[in-house]
Amino acid sequence: MKLFDFDDILISPTKLSDIRSRNEINIRYEDGMLPLMTAPMDTVINLDNYHYFKNQGIVPVIPRIGNSGTDWLDDKKFLSYGIEDFERIFLNNTPSTNENPILVLIDIANGHMRDLYNISIDAKKKYGDRMKLMVGNIANPDTYLEYVKSNVVDYIRIGIGNGNGCLTTVQTGVGYPMASLIEQCRMIKVEYGKPNAPKIVADGGFKKYSDIIKGLAIGADFVMLGSILNKCLESAGETKKHRASSFGGYDVVNQFSTETKKMFDADIPLFKSFRGMSTKEVQLSWGKKTTTTSEGIVKEQMVEYTIEGWVDNFQSYLKSAMSYTGKKELHQFIGGVEYNHITENAFKRFDK
């Protein structure tokens, strides 16, 4: 079986569309959120800026922190935990919660660990609907199938080594092309016909609007974004006026502020720090005394847009794609359109 990625396909328009205006199209879920999540990366989102994303309809997922305690709980945004912290806070204890379910991500690089699967079962038995649980990352459709059968998690992050801050596949050779992974997980979800099957969260490697739209068309319930959102003016990455170099320093202008907005509006180049969450410096920030070999990168990216500006463009492009396919509702578009496999020459024809 030949696996494929986003540049290998094109969404097919419907034969005749009944949509006369994009105003007829609904691109949001019932709770008003877009099919987008922030990657839990500390150069993308934190407790100081998450509201910028949420206000635009992007589901905020906060990165892991060192020494998280029983007060590290939330029912308005996902908080991230390592396995040991999750066991200590939720399985060895029973923290008090509000009426709404708490939103939890067990955030580990290798989501195929049996320990994660067993812990998920234990958490479901203990908390039931009082916890919305997301796990990952996985890159094997059969792993998704196991979670579908057990019915113990609400969301699964799929994708290993695709992200712009991740070197796992480059260094280990382990991975799975994202488009094929989404397609096969979606087929499993449809085959088993469980309305409460884990939502598919495609995580990593999305480089442009069409990648995201294709990911949704193939069957992802959510697309999780890191590098793309790091390039927003409001992201949590340290903001600089110049690129760092061995020939000189750089001026740090801190986080999003009136000052940085004025500089951005004046077309003064700004740059954001961006780093993968498996880098040694992140491991140290979690309080690890012994670090493992880094499978992430550290780099700088130019600020290209505001969150509002990027979301406005995304919404327009998604509505356009849905109008071509005759889908008025988001749930109809996700996994509900036809797409064709194309040759490399066909892609080069329109790639600009």
* Each residue's pLDDT tens digit, 180-214: 999 999 999 999 877 789 999 999 889 999 999 99
Ordered structural domains, the chain, with CATH: 22-233+310-339 (3.20.20.70), 239-307 (no CATH)
Q: Tokens at residue 46, please? A: 């934190």
pTM (two decimals) = 0.92
pLDDT digits (tens, 9 = 90+) for 269-299: 999 999 876 665 666 666 666 666 656 678 8
Please state, in angstroms and rounded to a whole number, the distance separating the CA atoms of residues 93 and 95: 6
Write down the pLDDT at residue 276.
Answer: 79
Pairing of strands 61-62, 78-81: parallel
Write down the pLDDT at residue 253.
Answer: 58
Indicate if the pLDDT at residue 19 is higher than 80.
Answer: yes
CB 134 within 8 A of CB 157: yes
Write down the pLDDT at residue 135.
Answer: 98
Write down the pLDDT at residue 236.
Answer: 94
Please state, in angstroms and rounded to a whole number, the distance separating the CA atoms of residues 24 and 327: 10
pLDDT digits (tens, 9 = 90+) for 98-134: 889 999 999 998 999 999 999 999 999 999 999 999 9
